[in-house]
Structure 1
Amino acid sequence: MTPFRTGCALVALIIATPALAQTGAPAPSDADLAALVRAQAAEIATLKSRLDRLETNAVVAQAAAPAAPVQQTGAAPQPQLAQTGEPRRTVPFAPQLAPPGPADRSVAQAVAARDNPSGLTTEWGAGLPVFHSADGVYTFKPRGRILTDVSSSFGSKYDGRNITTTGMRALRLGLEGGVGTHFFYQFESDFSENEVDVVTAFVGWRNRITPGLDYDVRAGHLFNDRSFEGSTGSDSTPFLERTTVATAIIPQRGFYGIGVMPRIFWKTGHASVTVTGDRIDGTQTVGDSRTVLGRAHWNPIKSDTGVLHVGLWGFDESLSSVAGTLTRNTVIGGRFNGALRVSSGPLTGGTGTTGYGVELGGYRGPLWVMGEAGQRNARLDGGRPDFVSKAWSVSGGLFLTGDLPPYNPRLGSFGQPKVLKPTFDGGVGAIELTARYESLDYSDLLTGGDGWAATVGVNWYLNSFTRFQVNAIQWNTDNRAGDYVGNDSGQTVSARVGVTF
């Protein structure tokens, strides 16, 4: 360090005596030289003090640093948390399904995600990753869906029905996650009507009763467990719109309500009971309506390539004092043609509703069939007889590419498919042909109408979360009230591009 200090002193001396470097300047006096030497000595002392402090700090830091561990011969290697290259993936409920998100997992799946041997903290699911903490306790996943539709109707005797429209069937953004193996949550909002609408928003708890018998309990803003397609998400239905059983045989509050839903699962089925008030509406000046709903499904035949599905469901609803309007205008030939509906006509004075239905179907290889039927009795005040609504449907599909239908045996509904040959990997995707006949009858009322629709369609799944759908519909309505009365028929062609993540 001595040469370094001497160099610093010389630099300071040169900087401090610019006059010595100039030519032609007058010679300094003895007093000036003495003052200059004293100033230089002071600067050199200051620099030396700073260097001493720097050297002292460096020595202290080196002494405080921990010594490198000495590897002992024959000692067992310490476990490492470094991630391996093996992919992390939750096993789905059926081979033809995409893996479930954190809020839809069983206890066994949650335990497997926690006890992850690969050490990976990111798992790729359907569209977006699932994030896991290093200790496996916390999970988190963004979620959402984008469903864009176009629809064109023609052939009606009413020009007001022969229109072409566009719309967002769903435009959702949300999140889901879990803490440990038991606690989970989900929140999702929809923006499809160009305004914010809260859809699912709940917390839940799951556990195992005995091997092969699990349960969970959800509390919050809940989606109905009612009918086969009524329990299927809008991003998983095989047609652009749900069947009339799902859209007409329904509580007055709709598909959602705030309440609690315990569910129990066994190897060949599930059962649920839901007790809710109104959906989120921000109104607390009067009491809520009360709805009790139950559903169960059973798979008496279940194999890797086939399932027989049997389902029963029902609900009872007591309406609040401000929810007595029971007027219905139900989709029959395309969701985004507001003029194309089966109408009950004006109906007020409702006190409650009761509905029930049955499901029967299944799949064998790439072919699936499902039949549904339901009835809804709306109770009226003033001693008037009930308003009875009836609906039924038969639908089916065939995967030309050999993929299995995306049937979820845990919930008894359709889910996101696992495509065998995704287009993004150089494959053709999954191609499905579909057909459906459905009927709706409100004619129990003097002002009530009826209608039917026959639909053929094709679905092209590029991968498990991207699809194109086209439906061609022949429809017929016979309304007794409203702007479009009498027998009328026509055609609608609708198309959709959808992404779910």
Structure 2
Amino acid sequence: MFRTTIALAALIAATPALAQAPSPAELEALVRAQAAEIATLRTRLDRLEAQQAVPATAPVVVAAQDTPTPAPAADGPVVAVTRPFAPQIVPPGPAERNVAQVEAANAAGVTTEWGSGLPVFHSADGVFTYKPRGRILTDVSSTFGSDIDGRNITTTGMRALRLGVEGGVGTQFFYQFEADFSENEVDIVTAFIGWRDRIGTGLDYDVRAGHLFNDRSFEGSTGSDSTPFMERTVVATAIIPQRGFYGIGIMPRLFWKTGHASLTVTGDRVDGAQAVSDSRTALGRVHWNPVKGPRGVLHLGLWGFDESLNPLAGTLTRNTVIGGRFNGALRVSTGPLLGGTGTTGYGAELGGYAGPVWVMAEAGQRHARLDGGRPDFTSQAWSLSGGWFVTGDLPPYNPRLGSFGQPSVRRPIFEGGPGAIELTARYEDLDFTDIATGGRGWAATIGANWYLNSFTRLQLNAIHWATEAPTGPAAGSDNGNTVSARVGVTF
């Protein structure tokens, strides 16, 4: 009866148009349009009647195919509702259809919670979890006061532009994948699968395999979205394997109540070169918190690496950031350095926090082995950093990993508070003068960070820097100033 009423209504709606004596072609088009509309209405009615036929107390199984898929029920009969689309995708359509799908998902026990700006999905039994993730870091930088005109420039850039996913199955299996688009091209960064378990009380482990981020030095182990300054220290950027921050391999990690240890063995980072063997890198780090309380931590750390380079990867030239990432003319360089066979690096960390104040000192050396009987080339770097949360928030120290993470802002501005405000200062020194073409540089930075909430921040750095170079376009001594700012969000 309801279908007949719909058809009659459609015919009545067409009556005014018919009264205007349309041409045969217009009449044919009108009839076809009316037929299509009636068919659409019938389809919607079929779906609505099918949904209304399901008892309110019955569990609902949404199948991804046209064949009903029964499921056992503890408190009601088995009912199957078929859908010609994947259950995780809600297609556009009438409001009643989308509402019914949401109700079906809720009845199935699927839950969602909101974390750092994006939802975390949990299956009904809690076994499966899934979360999108990413970061957007937008920078502007201006340099002035240099005696070299080419260094006095203003630039913009994306420090990070990442999208990815993470998830797990049960409490043991987990995975993560991220790609970065900051250089206007796709760059695979973190991409791994992992397994974790507990050995005993207060002792657990995980093992990750894939494209792995280094566990090396304090700021070298801190993500680009969590560093207290807009660029990592020269210890993290210069005392580093030749392959950089990432490599494909395996990393087991052991955790206890007051620290952790990791061992990483990798080849090259993601690339398309399979005609020769990868370089090999072995890296280890351990951190310990001999003092650990609710408002204070003492941090000690040691790390080291050794790499053997394949014959085609013998270039060891370094051009290290000293006054900001987005001024390509402002670097401390080794000059051309060819014929490398491998490198060995090591370093130490000492610091911690008490209440809203934190301090961290880092130092490291890297020995580059050269062919032809030449002596090793040694790089040296050190830094001293500190910060104070004037709003009383605690520094975002992660005692499990011995690095910085996202802060826990007590009074976000989105809840009527001031957010968290941090003042920072750093001095760092880098020395490549162990080789005739090598340069040297130092930088003093003062900064301010305003965390609007736990995943959104504004940063400002003012850097006074000085460099010395024996050769090249920046030969001689030079100094100047760089002011940089960032808007960042991590989700």
Is the TM-score greater than 0.5?
yes
Q: Distance in 2 between matches of 1:241 and 1:175?
A: 25
The equivalent of 1:446 in structure 2 is 436
Contact 1:351–1:380 under 8 Å retained in 2: yes
Q: Distance in 2 between matches of 1:243 and 1:294?
A: 19
Specify whether residues 301 and 260 from structure 1 end up closer, same or farther in structure 2 by C-alpha distance, changes over 3 A only.
same
Contact 1:388–1:444 under 8 Å retained in 2: yes
Contact 1:249–1:355 under 8 Å retained in 2: yes
Which residue among 267, 271, 285 is the counterpart of 2:261? 271
Letter in 2 for 1:269: G
Letter in 2 for 1:415: G
Q: Distance in 2 between matches of 1:207 and 1:409?
A: 19
CA deviation map 1:242-264 (0-9, x unaligned): 00000000000000000000000
Where do 1:92-111 residues align within 5 Å? Answer: none
Q: Distance in 2 between matches of 1:397 and 1:415?
A: 15
Specify whether residues 400 and 322 from structure 1 end up closer, same or farther in structure 2 by C-alpha distance, changes over 3 A only.
same
The equivalent of 1:141 in structure 2 is 131
Letter in 1 for 2:200: T
Letter in 1 for 2:291: I
C-alpha deviation, 1:66, in angstroms: 9.5
In terms of Rg, which structure is larger? 1
Structure 2, unaligned stretches of length 5 or more?
A: 1-49, 59-73, 77-108
Per the normalisation by structure 2, the TM-score is 0.78
Query: What is the aligned length?
Result: 393
C-alpha deviation, 1:121, in angstroms: 1.4
CA deviation map 1:378-429 (0-9, x unaligned): 0000000101000000000000000000000000000001100000111100
The equivalent of 1:47 in structure 2 is none
Which residue among 299, 302, 310 is the counterpart of 1:309? 299
Q: Distance in 1 between matches of 2:168 and 2:162?
A: 20
The equivalent of 2:322 in structure 1 is 332
Q: Which moved more, 1:126-135 or 1:395-404?
A: 126-135
Letter in 2 for 1:476: A
Which residue among 470, 473, 486 is the counterpart of 2:460? 470
C-alpha deviation, 1:265, in angstroms: 0.2
The equivalent of 1:153 in structure 2 is 143
| Secondary structure at 1:322 match in 2 | helix
C-alpha deviation, 1:120, in angstroms: 7.1
Letter in 1 for 2:477: N
Q: Distance in 1 between matches of 2:134 and 2:57?
A: 49
Which residue among 453, 470, 477 is the counterpart of 1:480? 470
Which residue among 319, 343, 356 is the counterpart of 2:309? 319
Contact 1:360–1:370 under 8 Å retained in 2: yes
Letter in 1 for 2:176: Q
The equivalent of 2:401 in structure 1 is 411
Q: Distance in 2 between matches of 1:400 and 1:198?
A: 38
Query: Which stretches of structure 1, 4 residues or longer, exceed 3 Å deviation after superposition?
Result: 64-69
| Secondary structure at 1:326 match in 2 | coil
C-alpha deviation, 1:481, in angstroms: 2.3
C-alpha deviation, 1:176, in angstroms: 0.3
Structure 1, unaligned stretches of length 5 or more?
A: 1-60, 70-77, 81-118
Where do 1:427-438 residues align within 5 Å? Answer: 427-438=417-428
C-alpha deviation, 1:489, in angstroms: 0.1
Where do 1:215-294 residues align within 5 Å? Answer: 215-294=205-284
- Do structure 1's residue 181 and structure 2's residue 171 form an aligned pair? yes
Q: Distance in 2 between matches of 1:443 and 1:346?
A: 13
Where do 1:277-426 residues align within 5 Å? Answer: 277-426=267-416
CA deviation map 1:325-375 (0-9, x unaligned): 001100000100000000100010000000000000000000000000000
Specify whether residues 208 and 488 from structure 1 end up closer, same or farther in structure 2 by C-alpha distance, changes over 3 A only.
same
Q: Distance in 1 between matches of 2:57 and 2:480?
A: 82
Contact 1:345–1:480 under 8 Å retained in 2: no
Q: Distance in 1 between matches of 2:355 and 2:150?
A: 44
C-alpha deviation, 1:469, in angstroms: 0.1
Q: CA RMSD in A?
A: 1.8
Specify whether residues 125 and 376 from structure 1 end up closer, same or farther in structure 2 by C-alpha distance, changes over 3 A only.
same
Letter in 1 for 2:307: E
